[in-house]
């Protein structure tokens, strides 16, 4: 009994330490998000032109430079799904199925995944290097708040870019995929656009905007937090980047389910 009791104590102790560690991590993450929100709501007038320039650069990197990736993925996914849907279209409304799976489900998640792989990892690496090389400390010693100058533009840029990429992905997957299926197969697609117009509701647009805002915010805050909390070693940067990517994906999945349940259940 003693070895079994000792093993149970060790397991419970490990679970307790893990739970406390995860709780502390979430509290620190929320505290970091609160600080960013407070700075965002009370931004000083100084440096507005510089901040706007950095925001536009972040939008360009996250959204515009991602178009050669997001458009082919959306076109391939839309064509593949529509070919499968068209086979059963006599029995089901093709427009409703397309809106349900592409607009509501696959579009937000795949767009978030592309942004995580490109922008979240890049922001974490950049922030991690600046932390390790004491550049953040240099800003603070010069009287510059890194949250205001560095973090806020990336938060606004990534969030705006995610919203734009949502729209691009949905339009490309639905319209481009429908065109590919219409030109390369014999499936009936004559009334496809009319079915889409009837299936898309104002709720779908509102939910898409909410998901884009929440996904962009979660991705930006998580990647920045992981970069700021990187250990003062170069070898810790890949670890922080990996953790940031996994956490961003997990938070986006949780938010996706929560928003879907809240609006569609």
Share of the chain above pLDDT 90, in %: 38
User: DSSP H helical segments within 88-149, as ranges?
Assistant: 94-98, 107-115, 121-132, 135-141, 146
pLDDT of 245 above 70: yes
Write out pLDDT tens, residues 116-170. Answer: 999 999 999 999 999 999 888 888 888 888 888 899 999 999 999 999 999 999 8
Report the mean per-residue pLDDT for the chain: 85
| DSSP state letter for 62 | I
Mean of pLDDT values over 54-58: 91
Q: Looking at residue 169, what is its pLDDT?
A: 92
3-state DSSP percent of the chain in helix, strand and coil, to 5: 85, 0, 15
| DSSP state letter for 98 | H
Q: Looking at residue 197, what is its pLDDT?
A: 75
Mean of pLDDT values over 179-208: 75
Give the separation between CA 146 and CA 123, rounded to whole angstroms. 14
Task: For the chain, give the longest Cα–Cα distance.
Answer: 74
Question: CA Rg, the chain, in Å?
Answer: 22
CA dihedral 252, 253, 258, 264 (to 10 degrees): 110
Cα–Cα distance list, 159 to 103, 200, 213, 218 (Å): 18, 23, 6, 9
Q: Looking at residue 187, what is its pLDDT?
A: 66
Write out pLDDT tens, residues 66-97. Answer: 999 999 999 888 888 877 777 765 556 677 77
Q: Looking at residue 2, what is its pLDDT?
A: 64
DSSP states along 145-169: -HIIIIIHHHHHHHHHHHHHHHHHH
């Amino acid at each position: 009994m003693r070895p079994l009791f000792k093993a149970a104590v060790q397991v419970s102790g490990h679970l307790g330490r893990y739970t406390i560690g995860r709780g502390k991590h979430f509290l620190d993450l929320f505290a970091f998000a609160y600080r960013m929100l407070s700075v965002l709501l009370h931004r000083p007038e100084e440096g507005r032109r510089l901040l706007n320039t950095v925001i536009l650069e972040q939008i360009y990197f996250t959204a515009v430079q991602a178009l050669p990736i997001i458009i082919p993925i959306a076109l391939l996914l839309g064509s593949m799904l529509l070919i499968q849907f068209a086979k059963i279209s006599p029995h089901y409304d093709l427009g409703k199925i397309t809106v349900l799976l592409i607009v509501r489900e696959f579009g937000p998640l795949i767009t978030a995944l592309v942004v995580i792989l490109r922008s979240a990892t890049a922001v974490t690496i950049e922030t991690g290097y600046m932390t390790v090389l004491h550049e953040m400390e240099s800003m603070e010693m010069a009287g510059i708040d890194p949250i205001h100058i560095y973090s806020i533009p990336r938060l606004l840029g990534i969030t705006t870019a995610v919203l734009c990429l949502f729209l691009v992905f949905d339009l490309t997957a639905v319209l481009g995929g429908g065109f590919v299926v219409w030109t390369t197969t014999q499936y009936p697609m004559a009334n496809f656009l009319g079915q889409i117009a009837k299936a898309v509701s104002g709720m779908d647009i509102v939910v898409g905007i909410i998901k884009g805002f929440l996904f962009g915010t979660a991705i930006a805050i998580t990647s920045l937090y992981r970069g700021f909390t990187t250990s003062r070693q170069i070898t810790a940067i890949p670890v922080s980047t990996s953790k940031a990517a996994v956490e961003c994906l997990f938070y986006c999945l949780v938010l996706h389910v929560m928003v879907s349940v809240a609006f569609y259940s």
